[in-house]
Each structure stands twice: as C-alpha cells, then as structure tokens.
Amino acid sequence: MRRLLKFIVIITLLSFQTVLTAQSKKELLEQNEELKKRFNELTVEKKNIEKQKMLLEADRQELSRKTKALDEAVKKKQQELKLSEQEIESSKDLIKQKTYEIIEKNANISNLEEEKKISDLIAKHNELELINKRSAQKILILGISLIGLISLLLLFMFINRKKASKILELEKKKSDQLLLNILPQEIADELKNTQKTQARSYDLSTVLFADIKDFTGISATLKPSVLIQELDFIFGAFDDIIQKHNIEKIKVIGDCFMCVGGIPNANTTNPEDVVYAAIEMQEFMHRMKEERLKTKGQVYEVRIGINTGPIVAGVIGSKKFAYDVWGDTVNLASRLEAACEAGKINISANTYERVKDKFACVYRGKIDVKGKTGLDMYFVTNAVVTKQIIENIPSAS
C-alpha cells in the first residue's frame, strides 16, 4: 500500500512538473517572439538611421562641392578682374606711349596733314570735354531740381499735415461741444474714457417741470415755423437762467421744459437754486407778456412744479445718447406742475421745508393728484430777487 501511495505521489509530482515546464516553455517562446519582433523593429530603425546618415553625408558632400565651386568661381572672377586691371594699366601705358610718340612726331614733322590730324584730335578732345562739362551741368541742374522738388513735396506734406491736424482738432472740439450739448461734462468725460457710464443715485436733488398753458390751442393758430421759433426763444431764455444757477437741463418734451438741480455734482443748495431759477423764469415770462400786450402779440403763461428728493440719473441708449432721471421724485414734480396755476410756482412739502426761510410761500392745503392723495402744496409768492438777477434775465422781443 505504501509503495502504491509513493508511486501515485511521484506520478503527481512528475505531472505537475511537466505542466510547469510546458507553461514556462510557452512563456519563453512568447518572450522570444517579442524579442525577435523588437529586434526586427530596431533593425529597421537602424537601417532608416543609416539611410538618413547617408543622405546627410550626400547633402554635406554636395554642399562642400558647391562651396568649392563657388570659391573657384570667386577666385576665377578675381583673376579676371586682375587681368582686366592689368589690361587697363597696359592700355594706359600704351596710350601714354602713343601720346609721347605723337608729341615727338609733332615736334619733328612739318607735314600739314599730320598737323591737321593733330588739330582734329585736339578739337575732338575739346569737344568731348565740352560735352562732359555740359553733361555734368545737366546732372547738377537735375540734382538741384530734384532736391527742390523733394523740398517742395516735403513742405507741401508738412503744410497739409498741419492743416489736417488743425482740422482734426477743430472737428474734435465740435464733436466734444455737441456731446456737451447732450450730456453733462462729467458724464461726457466718463463716456469718452470708458465707452460707457454708470447710473448714479442722488439722495438730494430738486426737479423742475415748466409747462406752457393752453399750448395745444395756441399751436393750432400759429405756423409750425413760428411755433418752433417761439419755443426756441422761451426755452433758450430758460437755458440761460438755469445755467447761472448750476442746474442741469434734462430735456424738452413738446411744450414741457424739465431740469434738475444737484446733478451730476451733488450739492445741498439745489432746492433754493431751483426756486430762484423758477422765479426768474416767471419774471421773464411776465416781462415778455407785458411787451406782447403792447404789440398785441401772442401771450404765453407758464406753470411750474418743483419737488425735492432722491433720484437716479444716467445715460440711456447706445446710439443716440440721452441723459435722464428716474424716481418717484420726478413723477411727483410732474404732478405738481399739472396741479399748478398759470404764472405761479407750485412746490411740494419736501421742497418747502428746505426753502421756507428764504422764500415767502402760501399753503394751498392737501390736494389730490394722479396716483397720490392729500399732497401738501405751496405757492412761492416772493423772494429777495436782486436788481442784478433781474437785469440778467434775457429780454423778450
């Protein structure tokens, strides 16, 4: 039994060894195949490298051959130049020798023909010298003319450039002025520097709306050209008035004139500045009315509404810029103007609290307007308007 077990163990071990040997052999064969494949690839790469090396060697030899050929050509040209120089020197010596011979012959020969030949030679020589002098003069004149032409051209270019620079500067001033007619200085500068502007909030500003009474009825009786002329006259005077009081014009909508104090540069005096401007506007309209009554012309009366409070101001649009303001303060100022009487100035409680110590005002009570109920309103009745202010009011004609 033991022998049988030993025999079985031995048989098992031999079988296991045979299996391991077969696997190892298979792995070795695979590795051998891989090494052969890698060897073949390296052999191909080696051949490619040798081929490239041979090509490079051929290029180097070709370059060396061309370099030698070029050197030989240069040497040949140098030799030819030397030969040419030698020939020229020999020709010079020959000419000198011939000249000396001719001089000697001229000294000894009395034959008229020889003298004539010599005279002809001298004449031709003189003629050649004269031609050379004339050619030199022509070249000199041509050079001077060319220099003069270039100088004139440079001068013309300089003058044109200077004129163009002046024109560009003038056009820039015009465009800047046109921009300032649309936008405030600070906003225009910001727009030019950054190509955009940021909307700004103002805690204290005063909005004024001025509207012509019964403008629709008046416009029906006037020619369009006359109507535009009248509006331009009135609102042009308003422009001059608000400019004195540091007030920013916003826009004109039909017969409605809108401006705001305290923007774009914030200040604390804008309530009284705007009320002073409103008084001057009504003073101007009163004087204009008196003059028109004398000449039996068209009479105009203006309602003015003023409100003080916070607003937002900025530029809208990307093509035609417009500086505008938004907020409840603006809307309420428009309502105050609509609730005003012709020839008077209607202010809100917000404005009244800031100007009551400088202007005489009459309380109108609580008045309902569109979107608001029970608003306190005041009429400005008088103020200390100096003689200088009245004299500066544009005259109506």
Q: Are residues 114 and 23 in the same domain?
A: no
Q: Are residues 234 and 98 in the same domain?
A: no
Count other C-beta atoms under 10 Å from residue 157's C-beta: 10
Q: Are residues 232 and 360 in the same domain?
A: yes
Q: How confident is the model at residue 349 (pLDDT cuts 50, 70, 90)?
A: very high
Residue 17 domain-assigned (yes or no): yes
What pLDDT, on the 0 to 100 scale, is given for residue 318? Answer: 64
What pLDDT, on the 0 to 100 scale, is given for residue 172? Answer: 55
Domain boundary among 81, 108, 135: 108
Higher pLDDT, 335 or 106: 335
Q: Are residues 2 and 58 in the same domain?
A: yes
Q: Are residues 336 and 361 in the same domain?
A: yes
Most confident range (mean pLDDT) of 82-86, 130-134, 215-219 is 215-219
Q: Are residues 170 and 211 in the same domain?
A: no
Q: Are residues 301 and 368 in the same domain?
A: yes
- Rounded Cα distance, 191 and 343, in Å: 39
Residue 192 domain-assigned (yes or no): no
Mean pLDDT of 43-70: 84
Residue 187 domain-assigned (yes or no): no
Q: Are residues 91 and 224 in the same domain?
A: no
Mean pLDDT of 248-276: 94
- Rounded Cα distance, 153 and 157, in Å: 6
Please state the length of the chain: 397
Residue with tokens 């001033």: 173
What pLDDT, on the 0 to 100 scale, is given for residue 162? Answer: 65
- Rounded Cα distance, 167 and 155, in Å: 18
Q: Are residues 290 and 359 in the same domain?
A: yes
Read off the CATH number of the domain in which 275 is found: 3.30.70.1230
SS3 119: helix
Provide the Cα torsion 319, 320, 322, 327; round to 10°: -60
Quick check: 300 pLDDT over 80? Answer: yes
Strands (E), the chain: 200-212, 247-253, 256-261, 302-316, 322-326, 345-348, 359-369, 372-383
Domain boundary among 78, 108, 138: 108
SS3 251: strand
Quick check: 383 pLDDT over 60? Answer: no
Q: Are residues 176 and 276 in the same domain?
A: no
Residue 136 domain-assigned (yes or no): yes
Q: Are residues 268 and 369 in the same domain?
A: yes
Residue 8 domain-assigned (yes or no): yes
Residue 345 domain-assigned (yes or no): yes
pLDDT digits (tens, 9 = 90+) for 308-327: 999 998 887 666 667 889 99
User: Could you tell me the residue range of the domain that residue 151 belongs to?
Assistant: 110-182
Q: Are residues 14 and 79 in the same domain?
A: yes
- Rounded Cα distance, 181 and 249, in Å: 10
Strands (E), 116-255: 200-212, 247-253
Residue 194 domain-assigned (yes or no): no
Mean pLDDT of 386-397: 40
Residue 191 domain-assigned (yes or no): no
Higher pLDDT, 218 or 18: 218
Count other C-beta atoms under 10 Å from residue 387's C-beta: 7
Domain boundary among 123, 147, 182: 182
Q: How many domains does the chain have?
A: 3
pTM > 0.75: yes or no: no
